[in-house]
Chain A
Amino acid sequence: MFKGYAADKFYDEMFSPDGKVRPHCEPLHEKFQQIENDDFLSRKATSELYFMRQGITFNVYHDNQGSERIFPFDPVPRVIPADEWELIEAGLTQRITALNLFLNDIYHDQEILKDGVIPRFYIEDAKSFRKEFRGVDVPKDIYIQICGSDLIRGGDGTYYVLEDNARCPSGASYLLENRNALKRAFPALFDSLGVRPVDSYPRDLVNMLNYISPRREGESVCVLLTPGCFNSAYFEHCYLARQMGIEIVEGRDLVVVDKFVYMRTTKGLVRVDVIYRRIDDDFIDPVVFRKDSVLGVPGLMNAYMAGNVALANAVGTGIADDKVIYYFVPKMIEYYLGEKPILPNVPTFLPSEEKDMEYVMKNLPELVVKAANESGGYGMLMGPTASKEEIETFRGLIKADPRNYIAQPVISLSTSPTWCDGAMEGRHIDLRPYIINGETVKIVPGGLTRVALKRGSLVVNSSQGGGSKDTWVLK
């Protein structure tokens, strides 16, 4: 199976540079060696059929046949040994704790700005900073209840945090369904390897929702708020709601009366206490935010500010997601916790700092440039592969609005053996673990491993040719 596999010059998850299998991957490697090619292909097809039958598909737009495709799934799992996972868990726990203290601070007393750790204008000029919510208390002082931080590994295997998705991170259903698909198609792989289960995720999620409920007595009613069935993540919304046993609602199912939120049911109105919202701030309440939004609930912010309903995540967490603020996360960790960051950031340059601007301008063709508020691989410049024109366009953009950009050296992501048209080849991967921040911080052992299926590509986003793998954390 792995004949002719070359780890190239990157950090490979299964093979060390001398071509030997890394010890923690040996049992898995051994099992794959025993699978015949034909058997492998038919099992791979089984896993694809599983996704198709489950309806875990996305629509191909502009195709009036309404054809549906599955997100490519690679059956070779990515394996993380126990000691590495311990480090990741500790690092992410530290990070979410600091991010949460930061949000509570800037939406209240703003000590971190007063102490000059973060220059004030970075916060106040940020589009995602919701000034109107300064002074509003949120249940249990938790802002980011669900975080999906993206981790990558550099050439020496060091884990870096690439970004923190603190708004509505998606993909957790793939974490769960990739495992189910792999178990169905390759049950023998799991024998006695000590793979930690991931199925506690929905339970952790619903426990957290109940924990942040403002209701003092009786059972809380939690719901998941979706933009609706045309949203590309709708499958995930349904899936998670079902796994948690809570209602999935659209904006039109909810109504606000006297600063309380109710849902319309066949038995009349029922009060709602906690909303796991999968709609961005901008669309959540047309009275306060975008007036043209038909997805949200008019008056929801009134109920929220009155403390009658909890939102996960809270309003205004986008500021923690801002790529410029990302630069300051290690400083937050030191400021709020007095600790050294366990997981480092990718080295980052801020063009709005004079010294950095000079460096960025000089080295643009070697750097990756990202817009502060974009995600999904949009608004990005990959210096080494970009054309001269693209580089010049970004040079102009950065000069015109330095606050809106960051620049980073290219980190060449680790590779993992991936089935590509008849052979195993190394493909670049990242890792998105899902952090639930409630009574305690819980991180389900695993995450979504995304893989760039194109040879040499570093872009793992599903919208741009990415696939995914099951992620194994070993006992």
Chain B
Amino acid sequence: MLSRVANTLYWMMRYVERADNLARLIDVNEQLLLDFESLDSQRLSGFWLPIILSTGDESAFSELYDEASSDNVISFLTEDTRNPNSIFSCISLARENARTIRDQLSDELWEEINALYLFAKSDEALKLLEDDPPQFYDIVRRSSMTVLGISASTTARDAVWDFKTLGRYIERADKTTRFLDISTYFPKGATGIDLSSPGVLHWSAILSSCGAMGAFRATGLEINARTVMEFLIYSPDFPRSVRYCISKINATLHRISGASHGTFSTEAERETGKMLASLSFGDPADVLEIGLHNFLDEIQATLNKIAEEVFATYVLLPESIDEIPESNAPSKVSSQARTKQPLQQQQKA
């Protein structure tokens, strides 16, 4: 597959996944707020600010808005196209990436991505945001899911599928860590959030944002900081846990390179393997030791590193080539060619 196409497929899927996750996050938190009708604006700000902080886009936000009010945060994350990571921006970027590689997508897949884009651009979408936000987020979520479903049922399991899978799981792992990280920024003490039962509502919200409520309940555990964190980081079989995502990334990288399991042929594989080992054989106590926020930060940084290494190995190729490589193993190249393919919107750790 063309290197440029691999890169574009990867980003298309990341943006779809990002839009989906944002829609979940906002929707869940809006619903949660309904339990706290009496919050004044300062307390509301204490509620929404963590969400902005966890996305790493706080400076972009404070440039555009004075106050972290519900309305401001929601429109920053949803329809503000000045924010390159808003839902609208993600949908546009997913569609723009899709458009440049239309020939690689099934008709159904393109139609769904395009339909989502046309919806986001429509008056209907703006009206829903005004009158019935849950309905709006539901449409975004359903459409993203439909994209995944169509992709899964119409894509041959070749390199096209592998690069899409990479994009999806790298983004998803990143988002799960960000959802968890929201807890770092919870206001401390009696801020009105602890009114019902300490923190439980927030941890429930994080589970719901990940669509993990049912799967978590099935474990029979009580909802609290430790159990939710363990589940969303270490669960070997829940498809949004960090460990699950990393194991998918690991398997996919090996499929792409053909390297056998337990070995590595690229830096991306080495980083992924290391992280998978530490999640598979590590102890949740590790998290508490260095602190949840630091732990999550490290994961985000590693994910960014993996993404950059994938880019360096499969997308960048030397400007001038003296010899024709006979082997199938792509050669890693120096950084001078880095201008050829722009790295798209990676979020800060």
Contact = CB atoms under 8 A, between A and B. Distances in A.
Interface SS of B by simple majority: helix
B3 A241 contact: no
Contacts of A234: 99-100
A264 B111 contact: no
- Of A249, A252, A255, A264, most B-chain CB atoms within 10 Å: A264
Interface stretch (A31-39, A52-60, A369-377): A52-60
A172 to B, nearest CB: 15
A450 to B, nearest CB: 24
B159 A266 contact: yes
A267 B328 contact: yes
A250 B328 contact: no
B340 interface: yes
B331 interface: yes
Interface in A203-254: 228-229, 234-235, 238-239, 241-242, 247-250, 252-253
- Bin chain A's interface residue count: 20 to 34
A241 B2 CA distance: 14
A192 interface: no
Contacts of B118: 52-53
Interface string A380-401: 0000000000000000000000
B126 to A, nearest CB: 13
A406 interface: no
Interface string B24-54: 0000000000000000000000000000000
Nearest to B8: A229
B66 to A, nearest CB: 26
A235 B101 CA distance: 10
Given A257-B321, A266-B330, A242 B4 contact: no
- Bin chain B's interface residue count: 35 or more
B2 A253 contact: yes
B265 to A, nearest CB: 13
B207 interface: no
Interface string B321-349: 11011011111000000001000000000
A262 B118 CA distance: 37
Interface in A43-76: 52-55
B288 interface: no
A268 interface: yes
Given A53-B114, A55-B99, A269 B325 contact: yes
B102 interface: yes
Interface of A: 52-55, 228-229, 234-235, 238-239, 241-242, 247-250, 252-253, 255, 257, 262-269
17 contacts: A52-B118, A53-B111, A53-B114, A54-B107, A55-B114, A234-B99, A247-B2, A247-B103, A248-B103, A252-B4, A253-B4, A262-B321, A262-B324, A263-B2, A266-B1, A266-B330, A269-B317
Q: Which 5 A-B pairs have the closest CB atoms?
A: A242-B103, A238-B102, A229-B100, A241-B103, A266-B314
